């Protein structure tokens, strides 16, 4: 019997309507005596704007928008989906999972639905899990979504983090078949680095215990990210028996332009082969890779049949890569 593979057949994304430019954010923060500048934000990160969810807009709402666009692109209906995975660290509720809420909103009861929590590497984890389930024959057509409302877990008085993140969602439809789409996945985590990027609070007997806002040692994350992203890229290329020259597009986690430049340099890839969207939406955690992927496909940069390297890195510490043919 021939091997089963999974392949992306459609992508979609969503950004909340409210766009906040660096200039607007700088002015807003200045009213509270928090000093920052467009020069600092854009110069250190490449971020020029972020989108902020409406007060009543949830991760599941944004996920549904992205999912509908991905299903339309794939030419399938919600009823054709038999596996639903949402990568998020900002779920609607403690439980049930955001995936089950998305399932209800899409009207597709019955198929397995669950969340994956690997922070900014969440989508890479989710698509790897979906690929394994499709290859094993557990499902035929998966909806894999990254959706986040990080604006709700930011300390808006901490200039070292609040300028970096935004809200959004991205989704793909993944279908099982005999034609190889996903060629290799590589996932890692190292729990010794929990403290460098975390939201340490939790709920206990109806009270929020500890700090429920994002804390990050930016320099430590930066240094580690650069090292592990290179290793993950090498690992998927090795698994697939391919080399640097076989990549058409690098689609990295959109957190910092300088990290993306460093990853590209190490892979001997010109920046013309890197999809960059961080300037428009900042760091959207698990949504960032599918947002960048969908943007690159819809604006015509990425073409059918090309080979893509997707990479993620985030809190945990978690990191990983996926190599695929579109
Ligand atoms: O999604 C998970 C992955 N996350 C990431 O990849 C984030 C990784 N880290 C980074 O992207 C960078 O480390 C940051 C963008 C967070 C920070 O850039 P940096 O070049 O590492 O700056 P820094 O933290 O060393 O801070 C440099 C200076 C400090 O001032 P002093 O001590 O040199 O006087 C900060 O206080 O910049 C200051 N600073 C700011 N100044 C203006 C920090 N935040 C701001 C700000 N505006 N918003």
Q: Please report which confidence band the pLDDT of residue 1 belongs to, taking 50, 70 and 90 as the band edges.
A: low
Please give the DSSP secondary-structure letter assigned to residue 171.
Answer: E
Candidate of 155, 218, 257 to mutate for ligand 1, largest count of ligand atoms within 8 Å of Cβ? 218
Output the residue whose Cα is nearest ligand 1's atom 16. 218
Q: What is the pLDDT of residues 251-268, one digit of tens each?
A: 999 999 999 999 999 999
Residue 282 reports pLDDT greater than 70? yes
User: Ligand 1: does its nearest atom lie under 6 Å from the Cβ of 120?
Assistant: yes
Q: Which atom of ligand 1 is nearest to the CA of 163?
A: 48
Residue with the two structure tokens 């960048």: 292
C-alpha torsion sign, points 159, 320, 87, 247: positive
**Gap between the Cα atoms of 131 and 136, Å rounded:** 8
Residues 6+ apart with CB under 8 A from 25: 36, 41, 50, 163
Q: How far is the CA of 46 from the centre of ligand 1 (A)?
A: 12
Q: What is the pLDDT of residues 60-112, one digit of tens each?
A: 999 999 999 999 999 999 999 999 999 999 999 999 999 999 999 999 999 99
Q: What is the pLDDT of residues 178-196, one digit of tens each?
A: 999 999 999 999 999 999 9
Q: What is the residue-averaged pLDDT of the chain? A: 97
User: Ligand 1: does its nearest atom lie under 6 Å from the Cβ of 221?
Assistant: yes
Q: Determine the distance from the C-alpha atom of residue 271 to the mean position of all C-alpha atoms in its chain, rounded to a whole number.
A: 20
Whole-number percent of the chain with pLDDT over 70:
100
Please give the DSSP secondary-structure letter assigned to residue 274.
Answer: B
Residue 163 reports pLDDT greater than 80? yes
Average pLDDT over residues 41-67: 98
User: Ligand 1: does its nearest atom lie under 6 Å from the Cβ of 45?
Assistant: yes
Output the residue whose Cα is nearest ligand 1's atom 8. 222
Q: Please report which confidence band the pLDDT of residue 6 belongs to, taking 50, 70 and 90 as the band edges.
A: very high
Q: Determine the distance from the C-alpha atom of residue 3 to the mean position of all C-alpha atoms in its chain, rounded to a whole number.
A: 28
Tokens of 97: 């999972």
What is the predicted pLDDT for the residue at 272?
Answer: 98
Average pLDDT over residues 222-247: 96
Strands of 161-268 (E only): list them.
167-177, 182-189, 197-198, 202-204, 207-209, 215-216, 249-252
Candidate of 47, 219, 223, 227 to mutate for ligand 1, largest count of ligand atoms within 8 Å of Cβ? 219
**Gap between the Cα atoms of 254 and 275, Å rounded:** 9
Tokens of 110: 């019955």
What is the predicted pLDDT for the residue at 2?
Answer: 79
Whole-number percent of the chain with pLDDT over 90:
99
Candidate of 23, 44, 277, 281 to mutate for ligand 1, largest count of ligand atoms within 8 Å of Cβ? 44
Q: Which atom of ligand 1 is nearest to the CA of 259?
A: 6
Cα dist from 316 to 50, 75, 77, 150, 313, whole Å: 24, 36, 35, 16, 9
User: Ligand 1: does its nearest atom lie under 6 Å from the Cβ of 222?
Assistant: yes
Tell which residue, 136, 52, 128, 127, has the closest CA to residue 90: 52
């Amino acid at each position: 019997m021939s091997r089963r593979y999974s392949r992306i057949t459609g992508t979609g994304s969503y950004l909340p309507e409210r766009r906040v430019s660096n200039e607007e954010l700088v002015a807003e923060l200045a009213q509270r005596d928090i000093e920052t500048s467009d020069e600092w934000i854009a110069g250190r990160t490449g971020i020029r704007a972020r989108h902020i969810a409406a007060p009543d807009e949830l991760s599941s709402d944004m996920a549904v928008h992205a999912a509908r666009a991905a299903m339309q692109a794939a030419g399938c209906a919600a009823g054709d989906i038999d596996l639903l995975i949402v990568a998020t660290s900002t779920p609607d509720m403690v439980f049930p999972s955001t995936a089950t809420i998305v399932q209800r909103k899409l009207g597709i009861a019955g198929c397995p639905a669950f969340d994956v929590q690997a922070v900014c590497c969440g989508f890479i984890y989710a698509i790897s899990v979906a690929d394994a389930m499709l290859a094993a024959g557990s499902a035929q057509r998966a909806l894999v979504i990254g959706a986040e409302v990080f604006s709700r877990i930011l300390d808006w008085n901490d200039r070292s983090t609040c300028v970096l993140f935004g809200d959004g969602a991205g989704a793909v439809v993944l279908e099982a078949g005999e034609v190889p789409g996903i060629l290799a996945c590589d996932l890692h985590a190292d729990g010794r680095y929990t403290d460098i990027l975390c939201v340490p609070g939790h709920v206990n007997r109806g009270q929020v215990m500890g700090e429920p806002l994002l804390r990050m040692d930016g320099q430590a994350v930066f240094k580690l990210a650069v090292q592990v992203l290179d290793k993950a890229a090498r690992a998927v290329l090795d698994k697939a028996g391919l080399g640097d020259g076989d990549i058409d597009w690098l689609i990295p986690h959109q957190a910092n332009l300088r990290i993306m430049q460093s990853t590209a340099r190490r892979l001997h890839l010109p920046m013309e082969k890197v999809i960059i969207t961080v300037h428009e939406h900042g760091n959207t955690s698990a949504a960032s890779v599918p947002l960048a992927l969908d943007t690159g496909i819809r604006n015509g940069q990425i073409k059918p049949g090309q080979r893509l390297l997707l990479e993620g890195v985030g809190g945990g510490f978690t990191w990983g890569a996926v190599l695929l043919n579109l």
